[in-house]
Amino acid sequence: MAYSEKVLDHFKNPKNVGTLDKSSKNVGTGLVGAPECGDVMRLQIQVDDNTGVIEDAKFKTFGCGSAIASSSLATEWLKGKSIDEALSIDNMTIVEELALPPVKIHCSVLAEDAIKDAIKDYQEKNK
């Protein structure tokens, strides 16, 4: 199976790899997947308290190239978005952008889950 150029690019030069302080009140952390399934994604957002805009996003992913590309792309898209806008990111948009084949759709689903999980964590901290 050949990967699309976009997947290869995100895989080789992933954007926003790293770790934010998960104890910080304005950081939301999403951790989804399981090692035994071959995919674990950790996606973090940092929200500007005044504007409610996601000012930074970081990820680390254990998984195949498509999983890494999906999470890298997700962090790029998250930056500068409001929480509501971020919640509207749909996995199929990731599939289309990266031209993922059917067997890799679960990677995009995982990325969407990671986004929602991170937002949920942020919202619970800031109730």
Partner 1 sequence: MSKKLIYLDNNATTPCDPRVVEEMVPYFYDLHGNAASRNHPFGWRSEEAVDYAREQIANLLNVDAKEIIFTSGATEADNLAIKGVYEMYARKGNHIITLETEHKAVLDTCKKLEKMGAEVTYLRVDRLGRVDLKELEAAIKDNTILVSIMWANNETGVIQDMKAIGEICNRKGVLLMSDATQAVGKIPTFPKEVGIHLMAFTSHKMYGPKGVGALFVNRKNPRVKVTAQMDGGGHERGMRSGTLNVPGIVGFGKAAELAQKEMAEEAQRLSVLRDKLEKTLCESLEETYINGDVENRMPHVTNISFKHVEGEGLMMTFNQEIGVSSGSACTSASLEPSYVLIALGLGDDLAHSSIRFSLGRFTTEEEIDYTIEEISNGVNHMRNLSPIWEMYKEGVDLDAIEWTAH
Asked if 60 interacts with partner 1 (CB under 8 A), we say: yes
Span of 20-28, 46-54, 85-93, 106-114 interacting with partner 1 by CB under 8 A: 106-114
State yes or no: is 64 an active-site residue. Answer: no
- From 107, 110, 118, 119, active-site residue: 107
Name which of 19 and 85 has its Cβ closer to partner 1: 19
Asked if 31 interacts with partner 1 (CB under 8 A), we say: yes
Going by C-alpha positions, the residue among 64, 74, 66 that lies closest to residue 118 is 74
Give the span between the Cα atoms of 76 and 20, in whole angstroms: 15
Asked if 83 interacts with partner 1 (CB under 8 A), we say: no
Asked if 78 interacts with partner 1 (CB under 8 A), we say: no
Strand ranges, E, within the chain: 27-34, 39-47, 54-62
Asked if 122 interacts with partner 1 (CB under 8 A), we say: no
Asked if 14 interacts with partner 1 (CB under 8 A), we say: yes
Give the span between the Cα atoms of 32 and 37, in whole angstroms: 11
The angle, 0 to 180 degrees and rounded to 10, between the axes of the packed helices 105-125 and 65-78 is 40
List residues bridging with 60 in a β-sheet: 42
State yes or no: is 37 an active-site residue. Answer: yes
